[in-house]
Amino acid sequence: MNLEEILTKLKNYFYKEEFEKINSLEKLIKSKDLILEIQKSDFKTLYEFFDSNTALIKKNNLQLIELKKELVNLKQKNLKPILSAKKSITHAWTNPKGKIVQIPVQDFIQKDLVIFAELARKHKLYLNDGINDPDYDNKVVKAYNLAFNLIKYRLDISNYGKNEDWKLSIEGLSIGEDDCDLKAMVEDSMLEHIGVPVDCVGVAIGLANNGIGHADLWVKDSTGIKRHCNSSNIIEKFIDLKDFPEFGINDKSFRSNSFNLKEVDYWFNSVFAEKEMNNEEALKRYIIDNSNIKDDATQLNSFTELRNYVIYDNLGTPNPVRECNVLLECEGENSIKTKSNNGGIVYLKIPPRLTKKQVKITYSKEGFKNRIFIDVIFNSGMTKCFQVKMIKGQN
């Protein structure tokens, strides 16, 4: 019997209040993209649960004693968690035949490249027991600096003629120059190679304090605090990771503060990929940044969808068009109607019957001229983000 089976059995013996405790524990386990057989923290929670419910245990004494025995057996086996990557976020990549395909963002991290091994051996950077290594904070900074210097910073538009063009670590290293996203991915790859655990390092994509979209590197120090290690340039000259600025904190005393992220859209490493766009402002910015009629380079889910930010110009300031009518029409298919919310956001799942077909989308509201997009093609499992700029007047 594994831990999840024990949790399921526990539900048979308790009332609603106790259900919530067990459900919370289950959600905690299932929210992690890993196959979890056992963890010390989960044992502690379960033992506390048993100890704090002695009256209920007496009612179901035999069954619960057996469950506790199962827990003890699992603990004695000292099983380790098995980390398993999940395809939850993908990004566009141009394959060797020149075709653009979507691959999991975790695949951009390539921690087993020989160049990382050579640098780690030469500079004695391999960690003994991960974050518990007595020289962890210094080794991480040395590895970060070495990885940073492998790639010269240069904008994608200058390199490839595109505003954004993600490369695998091995591709970027062969070119020798790229922008913040590739630099951050190479730095993450190097740190994972020397033994930084995957729950202690990540590449974060979002909005920096300077108002510019940025790919950043965060690393936990030996005390467990996330540190901002700017991917695109090394401004801070610290040798101890604990001296770096805290990730996501607007602290102007640090010279790299303008590159620290104030909003995170999503983050990833070789195993985890998690989106964090949990507020409307972040979603608006994301739609603006990805605004085009093509599929988004980054796919944050596995279903087909339309995302719009509907606005009008008011003396040079964009204002949302609230409750704008949206009509999707396709020959031979029933039409779909929806409306923008109070923030001007349209967020619509597209049914399979409208994929790979020419769809006409009409945006309308009293007091505004209709805005029409024709021959819009939705590809299965892909998102289209674009702004819709309305003009006041009559049709």
- pLDDT > 70? residue 200: yes
Q: Answer yes or no: are the C-beta atoms of 271 and 34 closer than 8 Å.
A: yes
Higher pLDDT, 104 or 43: 104
Question: In angstroms, rounded to a whole number, what is the distance separating the alpha carbons of residues 236 and 229?
Answer: 9
Burial class (CB in 10 A: 0-12, 13-18, 19+), 206: buried
pLDDT of residue 296: 87
- pLDDT > 60? residue 150: yes
Q: Candidates 3.90.870.40, 3.30.70.260, 3.10.620.30, 3.40.50.300; correct CATH number of 90-276?
A: 3.10.620.30
pLDDT of residue 31: 47
List, for residues 119-130, the tens digit of each pLDDT value.
Answer: 999 999 999 989
pLDDT of residue 349: 94
Three-state DSSP class for 306?
A: strand
Least trusted range by pLDDT, from 26-40, 63-77, 92-106? 26-40
Higher pLDDT, 122 or 16: 122
Instruction: Please tell me the pTM assigned to this model.
Output: 0.75
Q: Answer yes or no: are the C-beta atoms of 299 and 102 closer than 8 Å.
A: yes
Domain map (residue ranges) of the chain: 3-83, 90-276, 281-390
- 281-390 in CATH: which number? 2.60.40.10
List, for residues 232-270, the tens digit of each pLDDT value.
Answer: 777 888 999 999 999 999 999 999 999 999 999 999 999
pLDDT of residue 184: 95
